[in-house]
Amino acid sequence: MARVIMEQVFAQAMSDEQLAEFAKRLDPCLDIRDGTWARTYLANDRRRMFCEFEAPDAESVREALHSAGIAFERVWSAQVFDATDYPELHAKLVSVRDKLAQRAT
C-alpha cells in the first residue's frame, strides 16, 4: 500500500456538512479501488485541506476522486517521516507538548 496525499483549495470555508458529504461520496469509490482514508489536515480557515489515504497507488485515489465528482489540486504518493521513529526527536516532541499543556492550565 502507498501513502497518498490529496491537496484541495476552496473558495469558501468548508463546513462540517460539506466534509461529511465529501466522505459519503468518496468512501465507496475508494473501497472498490482497495483504498481508504487515513487522516485529514484542515486549515484553521477551512479553505485548504490535505487528506492522507492508503491505497495501491496515487492513480487509484485520483480515479476515486474523479468517480465521486470531487475536485482536487494535486494527488501524490509520499513517504512518512515521523518523530516517533527518532527517539531524541520524539522525546523533544513530548517535552514541548507537556510544556504547552502546562501553560494551558
pLDDT digits (tens, 9 = 90+) for 19-53: 999 999 999 999 999 999 999 999 999 999 999 99
* Among 37, 28, 30, CA closest to 3: 37
Q: Is the pLDDT of residue 5 over 90?
A: yes
Q: Is residue 22 within 8 Å of 40, Cβ to Cβ? A: no
Sorted by sequence, the CB contacts under 8 Å of residue 79 that are 6+ apart come out as 3
62 pLDDT band, cuts 50/70/90, is: very high
Let me know if residue 11 belongs to a domain.
yes
Residue 27 lies in a domain: yes
What pLDDT sits at residue 105? Answer: 86
Q: What SS3 class is residue 10?
A: coil
The answer as to whether 94 is a domain residue is: no
User: Which pLDDT does position 40 carry in this prediction?
Assistant: 97
71 SS3 class: coil
Q: What is the CATH number of the domain that holds 6?
A: 3.30.70.3090
Q: What's the predicted TM-score (pTM) here?
A: 0.87
What is the number of structural domains in the chain? 1
The 10s digit of each residue's pLDDT in 68-98 is 999 999 999 999 999 999 999 999 999 999 9
Q: What is the pLDDT of residue 8?
A: 98
Print the domain residue range for 15.
2-80
In a domain, 10, yes or no: yes
